[in-house]
């Protein structure tokens, strides 16, 4: 029989205090590793073969931290009926309201938050042992900390779930807006998404960071939104456009901007869309911006748009192929298209073997 008594009390007290401080100061990212380390330290102090801390199933999620000696997992919680667990402790399989100094192999604490059972903390020994009241009280206090940790984990998971849901809805909304153009212009089916993937890859190649990569991707999905207002017979015209028709086509960046500027994006999506047909020598539209007056994201979108467009079929011509697209941006590198953006795009296709 192992004796876990008052001789261990002072060491136990120090261990529990250290674990308490570590857990209460842990960030969400650090929590799993700190909990695992804490259980290992606590198990060593107690000579316990296993310590489990479980979160009772919550909206499909279940967290478990476990300290096991050896490879065998002991079924601490298997025979516990959660629905009738009203007392604070289970000692050797029996629920009890008060601790009694008896020979113990299995000890389970109810973890509660605002009166609700949210988890279990279980301690298992391969040999019977006598746990002193002092050590038990310290474990009881430690399990109150575990309750706080689980309650925080529940709240953090709920908040994270809400964020993921909002992100999902946001992306679905962007994709719905993107699909609007394809209704009136079937030739652009997939154009915006392919352009977006390429633009994001170019931004990543240029090491511009997540915000630039994400914003240029979103702007690419929406860059032709203004074409929804252009008559379909012009968008799908199989012959050369007249000057008036082309002037109407050139209004689509401004039209898209008018729609998107009403949405409070955390990135300058509307401005990227507005500038995506500007050229570095000032020959683009709608404002004839040049050089550094054009956002880098718009310069990237411009190049990605050109590559995808030349590589794909259009109402007035069949696809010209990737070689023609790369020749176009290389020939006009530094005049129409930003030099560094073109370099990154060429490297993607020639060295990294990028494919749509």
**pLDDT at residue 315 is higher than 70:** no
Task: Flag whether pLDDT at 209 surpasses 80.
Answer: yes
334, 280 in Cβ contact below 8 A?
A: yes
3-state secondary structure of 328: helix
d(CA 228, CA 178): 10
Q: What is the pLDDT of residue 319?
A: 79
pLDDT at residue 243, rounded to an integer: 92
Q: Which of helix, strand or coil describes residue 304? A: helix
pLDDT given for residue 160 in this prediction? 84
Q: Which residue has the higher pLDDT, 2 or 260?
A: 260
- Read off the pLDDT of residues 36-90 as tens digits, 9 standing for 90 and up: 889 988 888 888 888 988 888 755 555 567 776 655 667 788 778 888 888 899 9
Tokens of 353: 């073997």
DSSP structure class, residue 82: G
Dihedral class, residue 324 (left if φ above 0, else alpha if ψ from -120 to 50, else beta)? alpha
Copy the structure tokens of residue 205.
């190649």
Quick one: which H or E segment has residue 141?
A: helix 133-184
Indicate whether 4 pLDDT > 80. Answer: no
pLDDT of residue 340: 97
Query: What are the tens digits of pLDDT across the range 271-297?
Result: 999 999 999 999 999 999 999 999 999
Give catalytic status of residue 351 as yes or no: no
2-160 carries CATH number 3.30.450.40: yes
Angle between helix axes 191-205 and 133-184 (nearest 10 degrees) is 130
Q: Is the torsion defined by CA of 91, 54, 1, 128 positive or negative?
A: positive
Note whether 214 and 267 are within 8 A (CB).
yes
The residues near 108 (Cβ < 8 Å, ≥ 6 apart) are: 76, 77, 80, 89, 90, 91, 120, 121, 122, 123
* Homologous superfamily, domain 185-350: Hypothetical protein af1432 (1.10.3210.10)
Q: Which of 20, 227, 279, 299 is catalytic?
A: 227
Q: What are the residue ranges of CATH 1.10.3210.10 in the chain?
A: 185-350
- CB contact at 8 A, 63 and 40: no
119-172 residue pLDDT tens = 899 998 888 788 888 889 899 999 999 999 888 888 888 888 888 898 899 999
Query: Cis (ω within 30 of 0) for the bond into 51?
Result: no
pLDDT tens for each residue of 328-343: 999 999 999 999 999 9
Closest CA to 208 of 299, 328, 282: 299
In the three-class reduction of DSSP (H, G, I as helix; E, B as strand; rest coil), residue 242 is classed as: coil
SS3 59: coil
pLDDT at 3: 52
Residues of the chain with CATH 3.30.450.40: 2-160
């Amino acid at each position: 029989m192992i004796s876990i008594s008052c001789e261990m009390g002072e060491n136990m007290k120090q261990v529990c205090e250290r674990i308490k401080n570590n857990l209460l100061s842990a960030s969400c990212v650090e929590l799993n590793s700190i909990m695992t380390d804490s259980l290992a330290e606590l198990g060593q102090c107690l000579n316990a073969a296993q310590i489990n801390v479980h979160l009772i199933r919550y909206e499909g999620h279940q967290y478990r931290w476990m300290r096991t000696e050896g490879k065998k997992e002991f079924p601490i919680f298997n025979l516990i009926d959660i629905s009738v667990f009203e007392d604070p402790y289970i000692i050797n399989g029996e629920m009890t309201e008060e601790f009694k100094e008896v020979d113990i192999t299995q000890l389970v604490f109810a973890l509660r938050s605002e009166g609700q059972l949210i988890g279990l903390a279980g301690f298992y020994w391969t040999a019977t042992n006598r746990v002193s009241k002092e050590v038990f009280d310290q474990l009881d206090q430690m399990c109150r900390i575990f309750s706080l940790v689980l309650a925080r984990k529940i709240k953090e998971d709920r908040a994270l779930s809400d964020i993921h849901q909002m992100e999902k809805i946001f992306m679905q909304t962007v994709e719905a807006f993107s699909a609007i153009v394809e209704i009136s212009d079937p030739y652009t089916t997939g154009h915006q998404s392919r352009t977006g993937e390429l633009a994001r890859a170019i931004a990543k190649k240029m090491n511009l960071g997540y915000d630039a990569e994400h914003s240029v991707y979103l702007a690419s999905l929406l860059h032709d939104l203004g074409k929804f207002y252009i008559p379909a017979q012009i968008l799908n015209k199989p012959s050369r456009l007249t000057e008036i028709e082309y002037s109407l086509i050139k209004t689509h960046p401004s039209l898209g901007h008018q729609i998107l500027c009403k949405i409070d994006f955390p990135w300058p999506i509307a401005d990227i869309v507005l500038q995506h047909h500007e050229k570095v020598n000032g020959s683009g539209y709608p404002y004839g911006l040049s050089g550094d007056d054009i956002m880098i994201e718009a310069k990237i979108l411009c190049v990605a748009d050109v590559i995808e467009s030349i590589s794909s079929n259009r109402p007035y011509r069949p696809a010209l192929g990737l070689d023609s697209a790369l020749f176009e941006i290389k020939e006009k590198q530094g005049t129409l298209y930003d030099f560094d953006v073109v370099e990154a795009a060429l490297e993607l296709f020639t060295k990294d073997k990028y494919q749509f």
